[in-house]
């Protein structure tokens, strides 16, 4: 079914959307809206430089492959806070994330960014759906992302699908780093994602966490910054599954398979707690 696009003159301001998200309560249905939101977006050089620093990316003249998530975050919030969206934004669990870099991510725009929801399906703990993000330039699709989100307690018809396990490759440690207590606040300042579970131990305890936890997309971005030399400039996919939260402060250890067109990686704690696992592969 074709998506009905709601075109916005510019990305909406986040403070108002956060206020709407905080006021949303309860599940309002079991059907995703048939529309998406779309707007022109442009890179701000200063914000990009701060993002590179927080995530460890080099300045190689290209946008980091995870950066379009930041560009499109206001559009994501606009969709999630729309009255027609069935699930409340607060409390959604980010289970996985996939990005596809179609062409080299050069330039600062303007681009056209869009977000819509798809692939609603049952999950053993609720309902699973996907936010589909796209970034386009004058030549067409440049980048695409998919965030798999779980709404606990929601009910949709059907049977939960089980993904076939991937044949594991041999992984070796390639890097480790410390994630200080202010990691969540630093990433929030460059991404706009001020979810309280990431900001301090006090606010995280309100949601059942003993300490603040790192953003999943920061953990993915920090890992891909280390893997940067193993990834091509374009024509590839990176898919990750978020497992356990990285409590702050904490240590992260990155493991990866040998450099190749296809590979796997995993981020663990020093005590072997698995934070995320993922893979990369080239596509035509």
Q: What class is the 1-162 domain?
A: alpha beta
Write down the domain spans for the chain: 1-162, 167-284
Q: How far apart are CA 238 and CA 281, in angstroms?
A: 7
Residues of the chain with pLDDT below 50 are: none
The confidence score (pLDDT) of residue 107 equals 84
Q: How far apart are CA 109 and CA 143, in angstroms?
A: 13
**What is the value of pTM for the model shown?**
0.93
167-284 under CATH 3.40.50.880, yes or no: no
Q: How far apart are CA 117 and CA 130, in angstroms?
A: 6
Task: Say yes or no: do domains 1-162 and 167-284 share a fold.
Answer: yes
Q: 73 with 145: CB under 8 angstroms?
A: no
**Closest C-alpha among 95, 70, 90 to residue 221:** 70
**Closest C-alpha among 199, 231, 193 to residue 212:** 199
């Amino acid at each position: 079914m074709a998506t009905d696009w709601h075109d916005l003159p510019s990305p909406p301001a986040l403070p108002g959307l956060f206020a709407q998200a905080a006021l949303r309560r309860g599940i309002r249905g079991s059907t995703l809206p048939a529309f998406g939101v779309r707007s022109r977006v442009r890179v701000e050089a200063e914000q990009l430089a701060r993002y590179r620093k927080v995530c460890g990316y080099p300045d190689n003249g290209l946008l980091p492959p995870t950066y379009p998530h930041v560009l499109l975050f206001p559009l994501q919030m606009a969709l999630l806070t729309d009255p027609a969206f069935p699930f409340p934004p607060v409390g959604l669990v980010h289970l996985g994330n996939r990005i596809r870099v179609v062409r080299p991510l050069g330039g600062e725009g303007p681009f056209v960014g869009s977000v819509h929801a798809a692939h609603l399906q049952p999950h053993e703990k609720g309902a699973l759906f996907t936010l589909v993000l796209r970034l386009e330039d004058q030549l067409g699709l440049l980048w695409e992302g998919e965030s798999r989100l779980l709404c606990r307690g929601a009910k949709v018809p059907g049977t939960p699908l089980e993904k076939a396990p991937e044949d594991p490759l041999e992984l070796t440690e390639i890097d480790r780093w410390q994630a200080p207590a202010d990691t969540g606040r630093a990433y929030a300042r460059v991404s706009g994602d001020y979810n309280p579970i990431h900001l301090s131990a006090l606010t995280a305890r309100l949601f059942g966490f003993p300490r603040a936890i790192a953003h999943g997309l920061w953990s993915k971005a920090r890992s891909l910054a280390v893997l940067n030399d193993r990834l091509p400039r374009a024509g590839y996919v990176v898919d990750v599954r978020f497992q356990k939260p990285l409590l702050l402060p904490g240590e992260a250890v990155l493991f990866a398979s040998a450099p190749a067109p296809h590979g796997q990686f995993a981020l663990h704690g020093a005590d072997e707690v698995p934070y995320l696992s993922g893979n990369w592969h080239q596509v035509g």
